Structure 1
Amino acid sequence: MNDEPTRIPELVRRAQFAAHEAEFAMSCKDRTGALLATLAASKPGGLLLELGTGTGVGTAWLLSGMTTDAHLITVEADPATAMLARGTLGADPRVSLVVADAESWLDTYTGPGVDLVFVDCRPDRFRRRADLLGHLNPGGLYIGDDLLPEPTWPDDHEPRVEKFLAEIIDEPNLVVTLMTWSSGLVVAART
């Protein structure tokens, strides 16, 4: 079985092109993206959250699976990268792009609980997890990627990943699956 996606949505292709042109090398992989689209489709009318927009590749995958009445909040710390994503994503009313550090956003967010969160920013996967999970509705999904070693990892990153993986398995109120697939994933559901 070949599990590489054969149908890449046009918006994903545009976001990938923007990433290539900007030499942004940290975009969501296609297999991860296809899984995101599937999981987004399981939350009709839901509120989704992405921490780490980048140029919008993961965002585009999420949007491709979302229903017309679902909404996505995506948070990007770098203003220049956020501007690239905004140019790619256009005026889709289902998405709100916030330019902020993920931790700052968590400090100020007082909105409703979320049904799916995709954590795609390196340091914030390891900090403030309790606060983030506090915003996740029962039955909500927590997804994180980039958990398999990459040549771009800083020297101190692998121990953080190992600590995170050991901790998330024991996280109360989560049913967790670790996947050595694509870039390395965690998919968890809040009970």
Structure 2
Amino acid sequence: MNDNTFHTIPENLEAIELDTENSGFSMSSDRKIGSLLSTLAAAKPDGHFLELGTGTGLATSWLLLGMNQSALLDSVDNDQEVLEIARRHFDRDKRVTFHNCDGGDFITREQPDTYDLIFADAWPGKYSLLDETLALLKVGGIYVIDDMSPQPNWPEGHADKAKHLLGKFNRCSHLKMCRLAWATGIVICCRTE
């Protein structure tokens, strides 16, 4: 089996990848996590999804690929420049709402039990405000993070932060968790109570 072979890819993926490369943005999601996100989104028909860290919209494209037409996606990023790339590619898709704001501010103003799936690809919702973010999940909701295996762009000391975060998950009795040493290192959690 070749895990670099994808059943389907988003229609606009290659154009977003090109715009991402031209912009110099280097923190985008890869196709493997995208394929996983698409599959998980498809498992939640009519779901309400949250993406923390839109970037240029690569993961957004995969989430939308998996979502049905009545599902909704809130996508949050504080970098207006990269967010504009995503907006350009999805300006006609009414399922997605882009929020140009601080992720922490967004998390703290949302209501608990709102989301069926959260992809946390930014500092807020992953390394800060984790408990508040997990509270946004409905029971049965799925929380996904990537970049948990060492990455070339990690700053000094980040490995300790990742290790600490994994330890926090071990203490969350209201989650079922799966760690995958695949792609960039994935953690998938499901809220059980």
Q: TM-score range by the shorter chain?
A: over 0.9
C-alpha separation between the residues in 2 aligned to 1:64 and 1:20? 22
Report Cα offsets for 1:100-153 as digits up to 9, x if no partner: 111011122248610000001145411111111111000000000011111111
C-alpha separation between the residues in 2 aligned to 1:15 and 1:64? 14
Report Cα offsets for 1:21-78 as digits up to 9, x if no partner: 1111111111110000000000100100000000000000000000001000000011
Which ranges of structure 1 fall in alignment gaps of 5 or more residues? none
Corresponding residue number in structure 2 for 1:4: 4
The residue type equivalent to 1:11 in the other structure is N
**Normalized against structure 2, the TM-score is what?**
0.94
C-alpha separation between the residues in 2 aligned to 1:122 and 1:155? 16
Report Cα offsets for 1:147-172 as digits up to 9, x if no partner: 11111111021110000011112212
Corresponding residue number in structure 1 for 2:174: 173
The residue type equivalent to 1:121 in the other structure is A
Corresponding residue number in structure 1 for 2:47: 46
| More deviation, 37-46/126-135 | 126-135
C-alpha separation between the residues in 2 aligned to 1:179 and 1:45? 27
Quick one: structure 1 residues 104 and 123, their matched pair in 2 at CA, closer, same or farther if it must change by over 3 Å?
A: closer
- Equivalent residues of 2:76, 2:99 under 8 A apart: yes
C-alpha separation between the residues in 1 aligned to 2:87 and 2:163? 34
- Equivalent residues of 2:56, 2:85 under 8 A apart: yes
Q: 2:147 is paired with a residue of what secondary structure? A: coil
C-alpha separation between the residues in 2 aligned to 1:56 and 1:128? 23
- Equivalent residues of 2:107, 2:125 under 8 A apart: no
**Shift of residue 96 of structure 1?**
0.4
**Shift of residue 8 of structure 1?**
2.1
- Equivalent residues of 1:18, 1:88 under 8 A apart: no
**Normalized against structure 1, the TM-score is what?**
0.95
**Shift of residue 16 of structure 1?**
1.3
- Equivalent residues of 2:50, 2:75 under 8 A apart: yes
Matches within 5 A, 1:42-81: 42-81=43-82
- Equivalent residues of 2:104, 2:124 under 8 A apart: no
Matches within 5 A, 1:123-134: 124-134=125-135
Q: 2:12 is paired with a residue of what secondary structure? A: helix
C-alpha separation between the residues in 1 aligned to 2:84 and 2:154? 25
How much identity, in percent, do the aligned residues show? 35
Corresponding residue number in structure 2 for 1:27: 28
The residue type equivalent to 1:138 in the other structure is V
C-alpha separation between the residues in 2 aligned to 1:138 and 1:23? 39
Matches within 5 A, 1:13-162: 13-110=14-111, 113-122=114-123, 124-162=125-163
Q: 1:10 is paired with a residue of what secondary structure? A: coil
